[in-house]
Amino acid sequence: ATLSLMVEVEEKPKFDADKTALLVKEVRKSFNSGKTRSYEWRVSQLKSIEKMVEEKEMEITEALHKDLSKPAFEAFISEISQVKSSCKLALKELSSWMIPEKVKTSLTTYPSSAEIVSEPLGVVLVISTWNFPFLLSLDPVIGAISAGNAVVLKPSEIAPATSLLLSNLVQEYLDNSAIRVVEGAVDETTALLAQKWDKILYTGSARVARIVMAAAAKHLTPVILELGGKCPAVVDSNIDLQVAVRRIIAGKWACNNGQACIGVDYIITTNAFAPKLIHSLRHELEQFFGKDPMKSKDISRIVSSSHFARLVKLLDEENVSDKVVFGGQRDENQLKIAPTILLDVPEDSQIMQEEIFGPLMPIHTVEKLEDSFEVINSKQKPLAAYLFTNDELLKKDFVQNISSGGMLINDTVVHVATEGLPFGGVGESGMGSYHGKFSFDAFSHKKAVLYRSFAGDASIRYPPYSPEKQRLL
């Protein structure tokens, strides 16, 4: 039996790099034909995505449940409805986004006119992740299509049900000459990265982002890197505690059970206020998930056994496990970890050093709230930073002194759904941004075009040069 298994494993077809090259060639041919540039093509594909989401909502919800046991409500609110609104906005605004932007010209070029023309970049690659595997795959694709590009999507192998569904749905609903899905893991992504792309949008870890950027550099391909980080929530005492706590829970445990790039990673508050805050967190957590959160259907599981093991290791570290003040239960068979709160773990413990990306919430206490700035600024720049306060001066200081991808005062995560705001990181949390019009811009080249007539041809610019001509300038 062992021998036949070995033969089976050996005979499994190896990943074919030539096939990838061919696929990219085909997609490029389609882009070069000019079809993706037309307004009509863009609209038809966006409408097809809308139709696809409308008709396959059940399948999408099921796939997300298979991959993460994501509650249907969360699947709808944080993935399905977001994809729908991105399509809706693009369909509503596309014609105006595509209009060249007129700009003023200078006296030097008089008479002339100038405009900025948004042109598609070409063939773009979207490499997606597993935590919001539907949204984070399709949202960049919507941007790429809106801007008139051909696009290849590589969903995450860690969310296999959603990856397969995306592959099938794209085949069924979209123009496959210009929009394709390549499923797979490291080998497939490596083969894709060896190709020449006109832009790459990568969502995932900073470790792999470095691999992506190095591969892109070989072809001088621009990249958008959507990464993560330790997103802090600073909590003042002069707040509506219940509202603040509910919003913190919504931005941690009711958001993929903490497996979210903009989820609250840790809380900072004063040591005087911490007991009140913990009391309220316990109370509201019980209201949301019941007395035994391990049995709650409203909470996602941990995505895989290796992610589960990593989180348990963070929790079981010496001088950390004894700091649990709420939760701590885990079930390896079901890959579940209960909402867990820890108080004042050592600053040099792993849980305070790396992005947690799970249901563990350390609370770091400080003497006065202003000390939180130093704590946050001693770490890499996060993707989001949150502050709960009614103190206007503190709000101002926070905005001025904390650098993060995005920022939200008195709530968590909902800035991501604010159409007019760009979404992206800074420093270790990423580069570039997208969402709404920013997605269109992210996948467009802003071509500078100056129009002149043959009138007004000043001879001063031409040789032979002379001191007299220079004096006239």
Q: What does the DSSP assignment read for 384-407?
A: EEEEE-S-HHHHHHHHHH---SEE
Interface residue with ligand NAD, options 211, 213, 407, 417 (CB under 6 A): 211
Angle at alpha carbon of residue 261, lines to 256 and 267, rounded to 5°: 85
Residue 36 vs 189, nearer CB to ligand NAD: 189
Q: Which of residues 349-388 bind ligand NAD (CB under 6 A)?
A: 355, 357, 383
Q: State the Cα–Cα distance between residues 343 and 293, nearest whole angstrom.
A: 20
Q: Quick one: tokens of 318?
A: 């010496």
- 47: which residues sit within 8 A by CB, 6+ positions away? 87, 91
Q: State the Cα–Cα distance between residues 332 and 260, nearest whole angstrom.
A: 21
Beta bridge partners of 229: none
Q: Is 163 in the site for ligand NAD (CB under 6 A)?
A: no
In angstroms, give the least distance from the CB of 176 to ligand NAD: 21
Interface residue with ligand NAD, options 78, 146, 203, 412 (CB under 6 A): 203
DSSP helix/strand/coil, 325: strand
Q: Is 217 in the site for ligand NAD (CB under 6 A)?
A: no
Q: Is 120 in the site for ligand NAD (CB under 6 A)?
A: no
**Strand ranges in 221-260 using DSSP code E only, listed in sequence order:** 223-226, 232-235
Residue 205 vs 403, nearer CB to ligand NAD: 205
Q: Is 204 in the site for ligand NAD (CB under 6 A)?
A: yes
Residue type, 358: G
Q: Which of 74, 226, 284, 428 is catalytic?
A: 226
In angstroms, give the least distance from the CB of 241 to ligand NAD: 28
Q: Is 43 in the site for ligand NAD (CB under 6 A)?
A: no
Q: Is 157 in the site for ligand NAD (CB under 6 A)?
A: yes
Q: Is 136 in the site for ligand NAD (CB under 6 A)?
A: yes
* Number of residues that make up the chain: 473
In angstroms, give the least distance from the CB of 23 to ligand NAD: 17
Which residue is nearest to ligand NAD, using beta carbons? Answer: 228
Q: Are 278 and 363 in contact (CB under 8 A)?
A: yes
With 0-12 / 13-18 / 19 or more C-beta atoms within 10 angstroms meaning exposed / middle / buried, residue 328 is middle
Residue 186 vs 243, nearer CB to ligand NAD: 186
Is 261 known to be catalytic?
Answer: yes
In angstroms, give the least distance from the CB of 423 to ligand NAD: 7
Q: Is 226 in the site for ligand NAD (CB under 6 A)?
A: yes
Q: Quick one: tokens of 330?
A: 């885990």
Residue type, 414: V
The mark string for 422-451 relative to ligand NAD (x by CB under 6 A, - otherwise) is ---x----x---------------------
Number of C-beta neighbours around residue 448 at 10 A: 10
Phi-psi region of 122 (alpha: psi -120 to 50; beta: other; left: phi over 0): left
Q: State the Cα–Cα distance between residues 205 and 202, nearest whole angstrom.
A: 9
Q: Is 125 in the site for ligand NAD (CB under 6 A)?
A: no
Q: State the Cα–Cα distance between residues 361 and 355, nearest whole angstrom.
A: 11
Residue 83 vs 245, nearer CB to ligand NAD: 83
In angstroms, give the least distance from the CB of 185 to ligand NAD: 5
Q: State the Cα–Cα distance between residues 256 and 413, nearest whole angstrom.
A: 12
Q: Is 20 in the site for ligand NAD (CB under 6 A)?
A: no
Helical axes 186-193 vs 206-218, angle rounded to 10°: 30
Interface residue with ligand NAD, options 71, 120, 148, 228 (CB under 6 A): 228
Interface residue with ligand NAD, options 53, 64, 153, 261 (CB under 6 A): 261
User: What is the Cβ-side half-sphere exposure of residue 362, based on CA atoms within 13 angstroms?
Assistant: 29
Number of C-beta neighbours around residue 472 at 10 A: 9
In angstroms, give the least distance from the CB of 289 to ligand NAD: 23
In angstroms, give the least distance from the CB of 79 to ligand NAD: 12
Write the DSSP symbol of residue 369: G
Is 40 known to be catalytic?
Answer: no
Q: Which of residues 316-335 bind ligand NAD (CB under 6 A)?
A: none
In angstroms, give the least distance from the CB of 204 to ligand NAD: 3
Q: Is 407 in the site for ligand NAD (CB under 6 A)?
A: no
Q: Are 138 and 63 in contact (CB under 8 A)?
A: no
Size of the site for ligand NAD (CB under 6 A): 28
Residues in the site for ligand NAD, rule: CB under 6 A? 127-131, 136, 154, 156-158, 185-186, 189-190, 203-205, 208, 211, 226-228, 261, 355, 357, 383, 425, 430
Catalytic residues: 226, 261
